[in-house]
Amino acid sequence: MANYAVITGTGAFVPSRVVTNKDLEWEIDTTDEWIRTRTGIRQRYIASDEEPNSYLAVQASKKALEMADVRAADLDLIIVGTLTPDMPMPSVACLVQKELGAARAGAFDLSATCSGFLYGLSIADKFVRDRRRMKVLVIGSEVLSRRVNWDDRSTCVLFGDGAGAAVVTGTREPRGILSTHLHADGRLWEFLTIRALGTAHPVTPEILDKGWQYIEMSGRDVFKNAVRALESVTWEALKANAWTPEDVDLLVCHQANMRILDYLRERLGLPEEKVFINIHKYGNTSAASIPIALDEANRSGKLRPGMNVLMVSFGGGFTWGAVAMKW
Ligand code: ACO
């Protein structure tokens, strides 16, 4: 008898400090109007030095575990999608495992930028289909404010910090995750990159002077590729489940840019109420964006049992993907 992976709990957490577009007007050469009309963003949360990635991830996880009524000690696996870990070693997942006291759980980080949560969910799906009783905690968590160049107004206004988490376990009922779709195109990596802080470039004063420790983005190339990839993976997921756009009850897309979300909604002919939007509150939180959105939709009653939910993402790498679910 087939097993299905279901999400039984969600959680989200953001740092306490809110930075509005108006606040940014004091710091950099920008305006609230430019940011709102180009991106839809009105504010973002910025972590303090006492709020590293793992701290945000732990807080979101506690909420997800509480909702799922699962003890940390019963977790089998912790997967964290992130591009901004506390440090190269250990992984954020190991720090989360320690803080939660999830002694039985394996733990690893996954590097798929903004698609990290959907990549993680896909892996959880495979484990749980194999062993129905497995309990997997999938997290997307980022502190992007440390990786943006606050002297580059074209990128620093876009990003925010936060974390979201989901508890995934098994059922014999045909619901939960119905299909997963993962893609990448490494040829286009230079359109969105942080060149340094890995092993390709030593951290020298020259490298730091060039700003290679920060996010570099070719905005228009990202936009062009994002809309193309998001639309194509959406159709792929619809086809895999014999759905038409009308069958989708809620589209939870990576919150990168309001214009990308509007484009996708128009291409699919979906009404506004079927596309979840919270970019105005958080900015682009990369791997955290979908699980934060999912948790908000869940807790606000927008997600109800039996609904067809489609999650789609796109990010640096490039990576993109989709997960179709019966909630
Ligand atoms: N405030 C005021 N002016 C600005 C700002 C700012 N924060 N940033 C750029 N400008 C100026 C530029 O200097 C330029 O001025 P100029 O014409 O005098 O040279 C002008 O605005 C237009 O700049 P463009 O970069 O051409 O602006 P564009 O309309 O392309 O919008 C944006 C930029 C919003 C980044 C757009 O390209 C975009 O949405 N790209 C997608 C990027 C994205 O979503 N990235 C997220 C990461 S990837 C992901 O998560 C999917």
Place 112 in a pLDDT band, splitting at 50, 70 and 90.
very high
Please list, in sequence order, all residues whose beta carbon lies within 8 angstroms of the beta carbon of residue 306, skipping any fewer than 6 positions away: 175, 326, 327
> Is the fold of 4-174 the same as that of 178-326?
yes
Residues touching ligand 1 (Cβ under 6 Å) are 30, 34-35, 38-39, 114, 153-154, 157-158, 192, 217, 219-220, 222-223, 226, 254, 256-257, 259, 284, 314-315
Average pLDDT for the chain = 97
Residue in this structure with the two tokens 């070693």, named with its chain if needed = 89
Helix (H) or strand (E) segment spanning residue 110: strand 106-110
CB of 216 within 8 A of CB of 76? no
pLDDT in tens, 231-262: 999 999 999 999 999 999 999 999 999 999 99
Catalytic residue check, 280 = no
CB of 254 within 8 A of CB of 234? no
Q: What is the mean pLDDT of residues 108-124?
A: 98
Place 2 in a pLDDT band, splitting at 50, 70 and 90.
confident
Place 173 in a pLDDT band, splitting at 50, 70 and 90.
very high
Ramachandran category for residue 167: left, alpha or beta (phi over 0 → left; psi -120 to 50 → alpha): beta
Nearest 5 degrees, angle CA 223-CA 288-CA 35? 45
Place 100 in a pLDDT band, splitting at 50, 70 and 90.
very high
Residue in this structure with the two tokens 């699980």, named with its chain if needed = 291
Of these residues, 3, 21, 257, 284, which one is catalytic? 284
Q: Residue 161: name the closest of 243, 237, 49 by CA.
A: 49
Catalytic residue check, 225 = no
Question: CB 70: neighbour CB atoms within 10 A?
Answer: 17
**Strands 176-184 and 319-326: what pairing?**
antiparallel
Q: If you take atom 1 of ligand 1, which residue's CA is the nearest one?
A: 30
Evaluate if residue 1 carries a pLDDT over 80: no
CATH number of 4-174: 3.40.47.10
List the chain domain ranges. 4-174, 178-326
Q: Which of 220, 233, 290 to mutate to test the pocket of ligand 1 (most atoms within 8 A of CB)?
A: 220
Q: If you take atom 21 of ligand 1, which residue's CA is the nearest one?
A: 154
For 46, 198, 227, the CA distances from 193, given in Å and listed in that order, are 21, 12, 19
pLDDT of residue 267: 96
Sign of CA dihedral 149, 150, 151, 155: positive
CB of 117 within 8 A of CB of 164? yes
Rounded Cα gap, residues 265 and 255, in angstroms: 13
Q: If you take atom 29 of ligand 1, which residue's CA is the nearest one?
A: 38
Evaluate if residue 124 carries a pLDDT over 90: yes
178-326 under CATH 3.40.190.10, yes or no: no
